[in-house]
Every structure is written in structure tokens, then in C-alpha cells.
Amino acid sequence: MKVASHKEKIDKLMALRQRLDPLEDFEIWFWAGMTAGTHAVNAALHQAGVTRDDDKFPTQPHVYLSRQPDGSLKTAFGPLGDVLHVGRPKVEAPVPEDVATMMEQMEIIEHYRDPCLRDGLAPTAAIADECDAALRRCMALLAARLAEPVTATEGA
């Protein structure tokens, strides 16, 4: 996806989170935050020139949908454009320090995905606060990065 598309999705997901209660609506609140953070990491990776900034949409690691002239979508393999979750797929290229920090913040959030959403661990205010703080740090780093000049992606 393109940086602008990631930013649009981030804005919508962050607005959704604001309408939800972090504990009563934890599952959707969590998914909205995790997804927004993943979009932030992808936007930062694109802006840094680490991954491709294009109009292809990931379905699986290295598998993308691209819009055809007739409006249909075609599946194709390609080089890394978007990660689906931090670490899936792994970014093999060097990552700038601020983007690596964003990824670390997302790992904090991802740490609670299975226990709270799949394994029955009841979310607590402390868990919600930790996830929220990590996401806010991630978003602050993205805002700082997007204020920098755009770097062209090698081979894009």
C-alpha cells in the first residue's frame, strides 16, 4: 500500500478506538490499535525506503492483490511491500532506529494478542494502559518520521 493509504486507515482506526471502552470493548479496541500500529510501521518502512510504497495490497507474506485496468484484482507474488504483523514476514533489510523502536512497541501490543483474545486472559486496566502507551509511542515516532523527506525505495 501507499503511505497515504496507510495514514487514512490509521486515522479511521484511531477514531474508532476513541469511541470504544478499552475494557468493555477490549477485543475490538485491541484489534483496532494493533492494526493501526501495523499500518504505522508499514508507512514508516515505506517512507524510509525499506519496503515498497505501491498500490498492491497484501493477503499473505509476499502475496499481493493489484487492481487491473478493468477494476478486477489479480493475485501476484512480489518483494516485501507490507508486513501483516511485525515480524510476519521478517524485514530482512536494515531498519532505521526509530522504525525498529516502532516495531518494538508493536511487539509489546502483540504480546497480549493470544493471551487476551484467544486464551481467555481477562484484560486489565494495566494491560490496556500498556498497549495504549505502546501504540501512542509508535504513532509519535511515525509522526516524526513523516515530517522527514521521503526516501525513494530501491528498485521500486
Q: pLDDT tens for residues 36-45?
A: 999 999 999 9
Domain membership of residue 93 (yes or no) is yes
Domain membership of residue 71 (yes or no) is no
Domain membership of residue 151 (yes or no) is no
Domain membership of residue 139 (yes or no) is yes
Adjacent-strand bridge partners of 57 = 65
C-alpha cell at 57: 495490497
Domain membership of residue 74 (yes or no) is no
End-to-end, the C-alpha distance of the chain in Å comes to 13
Domain membership of residue 156 (yes or no) is no
Q: Which domain covers residue 44, as residue numbers?
A: 3-53+83-146
Domain membership of residue 119 (yes or no) is yes
Q: pLDDT tens for residues 5-34?
A: 999 999 999 999 999 999 999 999 999 999
Domain membership of residue 38 (yes or no) is yes
Q: pLDDT tens for residues 80-138?
A: 888 888 888 889 899 999 999 999 999 999 999 999 999 999 999 999 999 999 999 99
- Tell me the C-alpha distance between 132 and 22, whole Å: 9
Model-level pTM? 0.89
* Average of per-residue pLDDT across 137-151: 87
Q: How many domains does the chain have?
A: 1
- Give the 3-state secondary structure of residue 73: strand
As a residue count, the chain comes to: 156
CB 80 within 8 A of CB 11: no
In sequence order, the 6+-apart residues with CB closer than 8 A to the CB of 113 are: 30, 34
Q: Which amino acid is at 39?
A: H
